[in-house]
Each structure stands twice: as structure tokens, then as C-alpha cells.
Amino acid sequence: MPDTEKMTLPVVELARENNEFRKVLWTGEKTQLVLMAIPVGGEIGGEVHQGHDQMLYFVAGTGVARIGDVETNIADGDVGIVPSGVFHNFRNTGSGMLKLFTTYSPPEHEPGTEHATKAEADADE
């Protein structure tokens, strides 16, 4: 699916319906909107974004967030804030998919990027 041209989206509903590991919804000059779905026992994978701030909005499931040296439980309704240059990882510790939408400032992925699984995403990087 190419980036949407709509400027108003039911993003929580779209995130809850999404089953792909990563799906870029919209890319602007300074910000990007991405859906993610992490399977039971899966994780986003530890990483550091240099020059990119990220905010992750969780809409379904439960897990553990590690941002810097701090680990905390996460659930539907929580927001993870990851400043540029900070190590982070998010793991699904629940019994269903961990679903979220995230913003990157500036954009991190190519417009229209879709990865069905983490393995596919890793192979693309």
C-alpha cells in the first residue's frame, strides 16, 4: 500500500486491524506515521536511531519497553518516548499481538514500506 494522501485517519482502528510487522502509512518532510504489529513472544529488536525521535502509541496487547536503562511494562493506552540516540526495544509478553502506531521525526523508512514479518524487515535493512 503506498502512503495515504488522506490527512485524517482512524489510526487507532487501523493499528488494531493491522497484522503486518511494519506498514508505513504516511511520510512527510519531517515526520512519518507507521503501523506495527508484534507477535506473541516477538520484539521490535534493540536499536538506536541517530537523528530521529520516535513516539510509540500502544493500542492493543501487553509487553515490556526498554528505553535507555529503564524497563517498564506497557499496555493499551501507553506511549513510549524515544529520543534520538537512545537504545530501545519493545517486546510482546502478552497472549495476543502487541499493536501500535509510531511516529518518526524525521522519517526513518522509505515511503510505502511494508514488512509482513520482522525477518522480512531485517532482510530489507
- Model pTM above 0.75: yes
51 located within any domain = yes
68 located within any domain = yes
110 located within any domain = yes
pLDDT per residue as tens digits for the range 13-51: 999 999 999 999 999 999 999 999 999 999 999 999 999
Number of domains in the chain: 1
Question: How far apart are alpha carbons 11 and 18 in whole angstroms?
Answer: 10
CATH number for position 47 = 2.60.120.10
2 located within any domain = no
57 located within any domain = yes
> Domain range for residue 102?
11-124
Other Cβ atoms less than 10 A from the Cβ of 31: the count is: 14
pLDDT per residue as tens digits for the range 71-91: 999 999 999 999 999 999 999
29 located within any domain = yes
